[in-house]
Amino acid sequence: MTAPRITPGDGFVWVTAYPKSGSTWLRLALWSLKHGGAAPDFDVLDQGWLTMASNRALFDRCLGLDSAWLTDDEASNLRPAAFARRLTAEPGLHFHRTHEAFTATPDGRPVFPPALTRGGLYLIRDPRDLAVSNAHHWGLSIDAAIDFLARPDAALDTGGEGLYGQLRQPLGSWSAHVDSWTAAALGFPRLIIRYEDMVADPHQAFARIAGFLGWPDDPATVAGAVAGTTFSRLQRREAETGFTNAAAPGRRFFRQGRAAGWPAALTPAQAARIEAAHGTVMARFGYR
């Protein structure tokens, strides 16, 4: 079977993952692969590498309006037009990350237009580990994190005081999120990478990613990306410089960076709740 590759031409590549699936590690690895295996620092993220697709300032700039005056539904209906305007003004291949499910606007069009899309890179992680990681990151109880994974209306919201820097990001349940990006024929090539496979063999995972994107996947470039994004290095850099994505002071973003840590953190009843809610999709991706 031929490995998938992005199609050439102007358009977007969506780098997608449910929150805390390893997307920050992936973003840094992608920067390194694109830059010949150079070791990245966190400032490359602050400088706009893989900007969120839901970025409010980018949306406003593309459409020449102030989204503060729009409802969530009005903004959602305008998002396909914002992507189209971006491509007209700035032809080329654009990479954006998102935590969103592949959803439709309230008026029935895909938020991420397939006609403007060159490919999708989807990172998936065992939801039992996600429950533990999200509980830590968001300051939730384990049970609350498990509940969130199962909510059909789950979203990264725009609520609270002040104007949030992102537009509303619908997630849905973990199972629905995974299915939305992986199960249907969306009209563009996709590469699905398991977080657990990145942990077990980052050389192979990064080489697959580089090949999908049409970037150099020679051993030296891949080895540089692996060495520059080891979890111990990222932890050390966070301790030295801090990290703007950390949820709260004193709460580390790069906490453990390992797979299958959930048996030590979940009770059998908690694990069973996750498996009951998501077992069909878990089995499809080898999470048994």
pLDDT at 7: 85
pLDDT given at position 115: 96
CA-nearest of 202, 262, 194, 260 to 226 is 202
Say whether pLDDT at 37 is over 70. yes
Per the CB < 8 A criterion, the answer to whether 37 and 222 are in contact is yes
Asked if 113 contacts 105 with a C-beta cutoff of 8 angstroms, the reply is no
pLDDT band per the 50, 70, 90 thresholds, residue 164: confident
Cα distance between residue 191 and residue 122, in whole Å: 6
> Which of 53-57, 174-178, 233-237 is the least confident region?
233-237
Query: For the residues 207-228, what does the mean pLDDT come to?
Result: 94
Does the pLDDT of residue 250 top 60, yes or no?
Answer: no
Query: Do the beta carbons of residue 174 and residue 273 sit within 8 Å?
Result: no
Average pLDDT in the 162-186 region?
A: 90
Collapsed DSSP state (helix, strand, coil) of residue 159: coil
Tens of pLDDT, residue by residue over 235-248, are: 776 665 655 554 44
> Do residues 285 and 124 touch, judged by C-beta distance below 8 A?
yes
93-98/11-17 β-pairing: parallel
Q: What is the pLDDT of residue 18?
A: 97
Which band of pLDDT confidence, cut at 50, 70 and 90, is reported for residue 104?
Answer: very high
Per-residue confidence (pLDDT) for residue 49, from 0 to 100: 77
> In angstroms, rounded to a whole number, what is the distance separating the alpha carbons of residues 6 and 119?
5
User: What are the distances in angstroms from CA 225 to CA 33, 127, 154?
Assistant: 6, 26, 34
Whether the per-residue pLDDT at 282 is higher than 60: the answer is yes
| Separation of alpha carbons 183 and 138, rounded Å | 29
Contacts of 106 (CB under 8 A, 6+ apart): 73, 76, 77
Grouping H, G, I as helix, E, B as strand and the rest as coil, residue 58 is helix
In whole angstroms, give the CA distance from residue 148 to residue 131.
9
DSSP characters over 206-255: HHHHHHHHT----HHHHHHHHHHT-HHHHHHHHHHH--TT-SBTTB-SS-
Residues contacting 142, CB < 8 A, separation 6+: 131, 132, 135, 265, 266, 270
Q: Residue 159: what pLDDT?
A: 56
Tokens of 174: 């973990």
- Specify the pLDDT at position 231: 76
- Position 185 pLDDT exceeds 90: no
Share of the chain above pLDDT 90, in %: 72
Kindly tell me if the per-residue pLDDT of 213 is higher than 90: yes
Residue 53 pLDDT: 96
pLDDT of residue 24: 85
CA distances from 284 to 129, 140, 152, 279, 281 (A): 17, 28, 20, 9, 5
